[in-house]
Amino acid sequence: MAATLILEPADRCCWDEPVRIAVRGLAPEQRVTLRTSLHDEKGALFRAHARYRADARGELDLERVPSLGGSFAGLEPMGLLWALKPEKALVRLVKRDVRTPFAVELEVLDGHDPEPGRLLCRAQNKRDFLQPGVRREPVRAGRVRAALFLPPGKGPFPGVIDLFGSGGGLCEYRASLLAGHGFAVLALAYFRFEDLPEDLNDVRLEYFEEAADFMLQHPEVKGPSIGLLGFSKGGDLCLSMASFLKGITATVLINACVANTVTPLHYKDMIIPKLVDDLGKVKITKSGFLTFMDTWSNPLEERNHQSLIPLEKAQGPFLFIVGMDDQNWKSEFYAQIASERLQAHGKERPQIICYPETGHCIDPPYFPPSRASVHAVLGEAIFYGGEPKAHSKAQVDAWQQIQTFFRKHLNGKKCVKHSKI
């Protein structure tokens, strides 16, 4: 009987959905190598491989059989996806056009390294970023430049604004995936996109207020409030939004600072200065990558008093997601500052989830962890930290935690199971 590669779901699924990989029709205890590959939208090639041994019936199920080595080892049913590595160093896998899928090629070859033998079977898994029925609407409302993602079915839906960091542009993949779980999500650009400022040097909270008002007034968004999801620089912007703007009752921060960073923030007649930094303290790793953790001064120092964001003014709870090996800044320390400040003002303690051996860029599930990549604005290779296996597990759990938090505080429902990490 010829070997057959079986995927469940077959052929196509959403990117954040696990796929069961199995092989049938092998010889009893046959040694095989499984390989995956995909090309991103710029043509960059990503690859992973793992060595396995079939059981006595000639079957192989990655949910039951551990990898004997390769790109990863041990029982890792989705390892062939999260372990994908770029053929060219420092290329990070991101999705730019969420309207098209990533096509993952899977191959089964006879034997093990150093050179596996003949090709036994192959299959393709198309991984979508828009679940069936999810609607994408470009937003050009006043000054706001964004993309709105609406779930299938009849609304209104709990609303979330999604902000990325200092790389700029419009990043849609997290928003598009989250919309598949029942949220109306606005992926919001704030520089380096269309007619927005090219540089991050004149940031005004009124722009983000306009975006919040757009969501609060949208007929498909369930009021009377919305949530915020922010990563890195986008995280401290979300903190400022939650602290100064109305109608925000749930805020999730992924490796964010409790002070305003990078550039001063203007709002009406107020200016929040940036956290004092010293680029002379940039460190270079043995591999030649830059780390910025030591460039940031302590937000609790007197000179940074005006830079601290008054998060005790916020109307709703916070969830801090922390990578404990974040090499960009001291995310765990910042989350602790937030907790102590909120409690000192008699406010609810924030939920803080710390993930060991996890770096700065915590993406949705199954994105290969990016330990280092070239920064879109700086043009330099930045070291972000994290160990791939632990980081990948953190991404799965954090994704579920985000949904649970928003369902609880925006919808009053809990319907996402916690994964075991």
Catalytic residues: 232, 326, 360
The dihedral through the CA atoms of 291, 294, 295, 296 has a sign that is positive
For the residues of 189-248, what is the DSSP string, one character each? --SSSTTS-SSSS-EEHHHHHHHHHHHHH-TTEEEEEEEEEEETHHHHHHHHHHHHSSSE
Q: How many CA atoms lie within 13 A of 251 on its CB side?
A: 35
Q: How many CA atoms lie within 13 A of 206 on its CB side?
A: 10
Q: Which two tokens stand for residue 217?
A: 């007034």
Q: What angle do CA 299, 305, 309 make, to 5 degrees?
A: 75
Q: How many CA atoms lie within 13 A of 193 on its CB side?
A: 22
In the chain, the amino acid numbered 99 is R
How long a stretch of residues is the chain?
A: 421
Containing 274, the helix (H) or strand (E) segment is none
- Helix, coil or strand: residue 347: coil
Q: Tell me if the bond preceding 114 is cis, omega within 30° of 0.
A: yes
